[in-house]
Amino acid sequence: MSRLLFDLCAADPALRFSPYCWRVKLALKHKGLDFNTVPWRFQEKERLAFAYPDGAVPRTVPVLQEPDGTVVTDSLAIFAHLDRVYPEQPLLGDAMASARLTFIRYWSEALVAPAIMRIILMDLFAILGPEDQEYFRKSREARLGKTLEDFCDPEVGQTQLAKALAPLRLSLGEQPYLDGAQPAAADYLAFATFMWPYVATGNALLPKEGPLNAWFSRMLEQFDGFAAAAPRVI
């Protein structure tokens, strides 16, 4: 039995845009582990029933199924699982490093991702299949409290994003990776956030030069160009 990762896809199953799934794909590569991805769409909640016993919701990806049958959900739980089972090449690091990662995670989720969402929302909607579009519109409009069209505002999003990027840009002006000399969990978390627009729109939404651009390019080339080889909307 091989290692399987359920990975969100667009109408085109080759388009894998989920930042949470990207975190895990990069973490698996970091550990040098082989895996196959299983394309999964928003509407296919039933297919994840095996991973969410007791009817737990929401059923979302990433879901990792190990060769021994172990199933782990949630990107950060998967990081912790990988560090426990494959302790070489730590992702999270010790207790202090791991606690600081929590901060970087919430920076990416609370400051960066909402800015990107404002920019790419309608592009993202456009690459989903009709059934997923219906689900996506309903669930996101309930969460946002407005229509997708009203929320999407690329100009506002770009201003928010430029601000939110400051600590990343300044850190990468001082050290090659967020995690120091080599990438680890903080880099995968941050980089995955930009793989989302990069796959869904062809544009990572980072400056065309400077430390952010250099870091993104180096991250694309990690693991023999693993992320660079990802199909994307051009």
How far, in Å, are 44, 110, 113 from residue 60 at the CA level? Answer: 9, 19, 18
Q: Least distance (Å) from its own copies to the CB of residue 109?
A: 8
Told to check if 171 binds its own copies by CB under 8 A, we report yes
Q: Angle at the Cα of 38 (from 32 to 42), degrees rounded to 5?
A: 125
Q: Least distance (Å) from its own copies to the CB of residue 98?
A: 7
Told to check if 89 binds its own copies by CB under 8 A, we report no
Q: Of the two residues 100 and 138, which places its CB atom closer to its own copies in the complex?
A: 100
Q: Least distance (Å) from its own copies to the CB of residue 106?
A: 4
Residue 86 half-sphere exposure toward CB, CA atoms < 13 A: 14
180: β partners: 177
Q: Least distance (Å) from its own copies to the CB of residue 180?
A: 4
Identify the residue among 186, 199, 220, 227 touching its own copies (CB under 8 A): 186
Q: Least distance (Å) from its own copies to the CB of residue 96?
A: 4
Q: Which stretch binds its own copies (CB under 8 A): 12-20, 77-85, 130-138, 176-184?
A: 176-184
CA distance 91 to 171: 19
Identify the residue among 170, 207, 210, 225 touching its own copies (CB under 8 A): 170
Strands 36-40 and 71-73: unpaired
Q: Of the two residues 55 and 87, which places its CB atom closer to its own copies in the complex?
A: 87
Lay out the site mask for its own copies across 92-111 (x = CB under 8 A, - = otherwise).
-xxxxxxxxxxxx-xx-xxx
Q: Are 5 and 36 in contact (CB under 8 A)?
A: yes
64, burial (CB in 10 Å: exposed 0-12, middle 13-18, buried 19+): buried
Dihedral sign of CA atoms 214, 162, 125, 20 in order: positive
Total residues at interface with its own copies (CB under 8 A):
34
Told to check if 178 binds its own copies by CB under 8 A, we report yes
* Those residues with Cβ within 8 angstroms of residue 149's Cβ, 6 or more apart along the chain or in another chain: 122
Chain residues in the site for its own copies (CB under 8 A):
90, 93-104, 106-107, 109-111, 163-164, 166-168, 170-171, 174-175, 177-181, 184, 186
